[in-house]
Structure 1
Amino acid sequence: MRPSPIISAIGTGALALGMSIAVAPSAGATTLPAEPTTDDVAATMEEALERDFGLTPFEAEELLEAQDAAIDIDAEAAEAAGDSYGGSVFDADTLELTVHVTDAAAAEQVEAAGAEAAVVDHGHETLAGVVEELDAAGGADGVVSWYPDVENDTVVVQANDTDAAQSLIDSAGVDTAAVEVEQTNETPELYADIVGGDAYTMGGGRCSIGFAVTDGSGNEGFVTAGHCGTVGTSAESEDGTGSGVFEESIFPGNDAAFVAATDNWDATNLVNTYDGDNQTVGGSDEAPIGSAICRSGSTTGWECGTIEARGESVSYPEGTVEDMTRTDACAEPGDSGGSFIAGDQAQGMTSGGSGSCSGGGTTYYQEVAPVLDTWGLDLVTS
């Protein structure tokens, strides 16, 4: 039975969260990454943002501090708005959080919480309902994805063929006033079928660790992409010293898995930044749309981008997956399963996408928090 539609990222990717296996960038490495100091940890994402966003050290620090504050403000504003809460968007340029409400009367409470308020017609729940109706219609050849565009209060259907998109909309019977068709040349694919790199292997394939977790009995393991293995599939660390087995796995529809360590695989709270340093994981609070985010992957290393949308349904050749998060952080085949993180807050595991790190592209990830909730797992944070 499939968990609630939380899990939808299809990944490929890198050993992002350090375990006692090969986590260093070079192939064949067998030592744990060095424990970073607090100052080193703070600098890792800041330095990546300086590089990828063209920020000064002060601007990078200011951005991360503003995002941390926005997470707290968003939670308070959502509670204040109640049923009128329509989603939120963080602007990385102005460092402002805008919270949408479907009732003008709730705007004052939202602003009292410290956010800008905007009154919208639909809101995220209505948009999510449209996405579910499109999901039920089953997709169509030539249609790439559909997602709630919270910022513009509409559902965007991306397609190579706009006639196919219109056919999907008609068959779903959704409110056309809430839908916008966008033509794209993207063709999403999975990133999981490259052998080699410093991740974990399963048979002749290779995927990557997302985040270290423990289950309800205290057993250690990690979350990763479901398309990397079915229940019962054996997994092995890159150096061959650690082993595990897939105890939970879902794909397609959702795309997530839990691999339980069975021998010599010790969990840490580290993400490999591929520069000789590491980022620690402190929790899994969800960053607002518009937030800066960084990704760790064994093919392309440590790359950053922006959260563009949540709740996107993506049509892969292997099947449609729901509730994906869309980013413009680049990735390439071999990056599957790697960590997406904002500050020290775990966000998700690298999925599939389009494009490359030489030309840019779109990458999707599986939100980690709902995966933890669904399977009763705890993120390792110390």
Structure 2
Amino acid sequence: MSHKRIPKRRAAIAAGGVAALGAAAVLLPNANASQDGESFGDTAAAPRTLKAADASDLASQLAGLLGDAFAGSYYDADEQQLVVNVVPGDNNQVIVEAKKAGADVREVDNSMSELQTGARTLKSEATIPGTSWAIDPRTNKILVTADSTVTGADWDRLESTVEGLGAGMATIKKSAGTFKTFVSGGDAVFGGGARCSLGFNVTAGDGAPAFLTAGHCGVADDRWSDAQDGQPIATVDQAVFPGEGDFALVRYDDPATEAPSEVNLGDQTVQISQAAEATVGQQVFRMGSTTGLADGQVLGLDATVNYPEGTVTGLIQTDVCAEPGDSGGSLFTQDGLAIGLTSGGSGDCTVGGETFFQPVTTALEAVGATLGGDGAGAGQAGGAGSGVGDQAGGEAAGGGDAVGGGDGQVGDGAGAGAGEAGDGADGDGTGAGGGHGSGLAG
């Protein structure tokens, strides 16, 4: 059977044009700083210069080494160093070892267990639509964010809960926008009431070609097309939203589909080599079908977001902009690491705002898929292979491509689900593709 490829379409850079061009200027030179040539095993006590990906690996190692003394870590992009927080105590030897490994070690007041306990308190006492929280290792506090809908009694309840955590445990930030999933509702686009973006091509557990996108897209409809009023070319296999994540596995209907592991920027492609964990302070890039390319930094991990549809946990918090239609799009690094899938947030690419992403690593583990597929890495730079910004569903579709829901109308609230919403969630349960997510119009 011959392999078909979809027509190339110029990457969409709409309202986020300035942000997208700025991101492209940073990304295209491919000016990654390299390591200083020293390995983690060297005994020098001075902090080492590291790539963000290497810093993430080192952080994972040191978290195990330090045990209860570990209080989080982040990447200092300016110094290109990993900063590791430790709580004072009888741990001088492990701190020496952490410094030998190349980390910049600093003492902080709040332990990781104390911060996690505070996050659990927020979950039990302040699960209010329009709020989020994540541990911020740079301030050694819980960063609590409330959007413009959190007012009156809800605001008083949130503020009281934060104050009850104790001095120095959390800070509250007000967001001018409204937390929402970034699916595009209203006008029927690509054959249905929703438009999302393809995240990353993957290989399902049985070897079939598939792709990852946002779970709230997956529960909006179970059939996906590559053009307005076009025939469906892919079917939702698994979807989670709300609850423990926001991700969906969508299988291409044609088993001969070529699904290269790449993100297309319009004038070049970025080959995606592997999935990786995010690191606070890391520079990341997002590609989506509405706003094209944008960049920013990771602000927090394991974030909890209280959307109108329900609570979603385990997300990555960033300052990267996004808009409706960007949902499901690729979050990746300059050197080709797959980091996340666009979930939602507040603001837009004119005024900015917070955006949350589903970690790719946990999505892959949950659906039993691996990154890439037939033809992975084979796309040529300069747009020979289709990718980000293209209409999705073609055999060579790349990360961030636009994909349209089938016949479903966003916001229909049927929400047949295979799982349950997260604790405190008010929305429908996890969908396996057979229903509509409630209130998803962006």
Q: Same fold (TM over 0.5)?
A: yes
Select the structure that is richer in helix: 1
SS of the residue 2:365 aligns to: helix
Give, in angstroms, the shift of residue 49 of structure 1: 5.2
SS of the residue 1:359 aligns to: coil
Deviates more, 1:102-111 or 1:287-296: 102-111
Q: How does 1:32-43 map to 2 (within 5 A)?
A: none
> Whose relative contact order is higher, 1 or 2, with alpha carbons under 8 Å and at least 6 apart?
1
Select the structure that is richer in strand: 1
Give, in angstroms, the shift of residue 80 of structure 1: 2.5
Q: Residue 248 of structure 2 corresponds to which residue in structure 1?
A: 257
What CA distance in whole angstroms lies between the structure 1 residues aligned with 2:133 and 2:34? 29
Residue identity in the other structure for 1:349: L
Segments of 5+ residues of structure 2 without an aligned counterpart are 13-20, 36-49, 378-442
What CA distance in whole angstroms lies between the structure 2 residues aligned with 1:57 and 1:230? 38
Give, in angstroms, the shift of residue 212 of structure 1: 1.0
Q: Residue 382 of structure 2 corresponds to which residue in structure 1?
A: none
Is the Cα–Cα contact under 8 Å of residues 140 and 165 in structure 1 kept in the other structure?
no
Q: Tell me the alpha carbon deviations over residues 322-378 of structure 1, each in whole angstroms, 9 at most, x when there is no partner.
A: 222111111111111110001211000112122222222221111110111122111
Cα gap change, 1:110 to 1:22, in 2 (>3 Å): farther
Matched, 1:158 2:145: yes
Matched, 1:336 2:327: yes
Matched, 1:227 2:216: yes
Query: Which one of the candidate residues 108, 121, 128 is aligned to 2:109?
Result: 121
What CA distance in whole angstroms lies between the structure 2 residues aligned with 1:221 and 1:357? 29
Matched, 1:293 2:284: yes
Give, in angstroms, the shift of residue 148 of structure 1: 1.2
Segments of 5+ residues of structure 1 without an aligned counterpart are 1-18, 28-46
Residue identity in the other structure for 2:142: V
Number of equivalenced pairs: 338
What CA distance in whole angstroms lies between the structure 1 residues aligned with 2:191 and 2:140? 42
Give, in angstroms, the shift of residue 116 of structure 1: 0.5
Q: Residue 409 of structure 2 corresponds to which residue in structure 1?
A: none
Residue identity in the other structure for 1:109: E
Q: Tell me the alpha carbon deviations over residues 160-217 of structure 1, each in whole angstroms, 9 at most, x when there is no partner.
A: 44863452475699633423233332311221125899xx956332211111111221
Is the Cα–Cα contact under 8 Å of residues 191 and 225 in structure 2 kept in the other structure?
yes
Matched, 1:51 2:29: no
Query: Which one of the candidate residues 203, 206, 217 is aligned to 2:192?
Result: 203
SS of the residue 1:267 aligns to: coil
Cα gap change, 1:190 to 1:287, in 2 (>3 Å): closer
Is the Cα–Cα contact under 8 Å of residues 63 and 95 in structure 1 kept in the other structure?
no
The TM-score with structure 2 as length reference comes to: 0.68
Is the Cα–Cα contact under 8 Å of residues 196 and 289 in structure 2 kept in the other structure?
no
The TM-score with structure 1 as length reference comes to: 0.78
Q: Tell me the alpha carbon deviations over residues 251-291 of structure 1, each in whole angstroms, 9 at most, x when there is no partner.
A: 112311111111253211011213x2111111112231001
Deviates more, 1:239-248 or 1:171-180: 171-180
Cα gap change, 1:345 to 1:124, in 2 (>3 Å): farther
Q: Residue 119 of structure 2 corresponds to which residue in structure 1?
A: 131
Is the Cα–Cα contact under 8 Å of residues 169 and 176 in structure 1 kept in the other structure?
no
Is the Cα–Cα contact under 8 Å of residues 195 and 206 in structure 1 kept in the other structure?
no
Give, in angstroms, the shift of residue 84 of structure 1: 2.7
Q: Residue 372 of structure 1 corresponds to which residue in structure 2?
A: 364
What CA distance in whole angstroms lies between the structure 2 residues aligned with 1:102 and 1:359? 38
How large is the RMSD of aligned CA atoms in angstroms?
3.2
Cα gap change, 1:150 to 1:351, in 2 (>3 Å): same
Q: Residue 306 of structure 2 corresponds to which residue in structure 1?
A: 315
What CA distance in whole angstroms lies between the structure 1 residues aligned with 2:11 and 2:29? 28
SS of the residue 2:66 aligns to: helix
Matched, 1:167 2:176: no
Residue identity in the other structure for 1:243: I
What CA distance in whole angstroms lies between the structure 2 residues aligned with 1:334 and 1:270? 20
Query: Which one of the candidate residues 77, 89, 96 is aligned to 1:92?
Result: 77
SS of the residue 1:355 aligns to: coil
Is the Cα–Cα contact under 8 Å of residues 76 and 113 in structure 1 kept in the other structure?
no
SS of the residue 1:98 aligns to: strand
Cα gap change, 1:88 to 1:327, in 2 (>3 Å): same
Q: Residue 392 of structure 2 corresponds to which residue in structure 1?
A: none
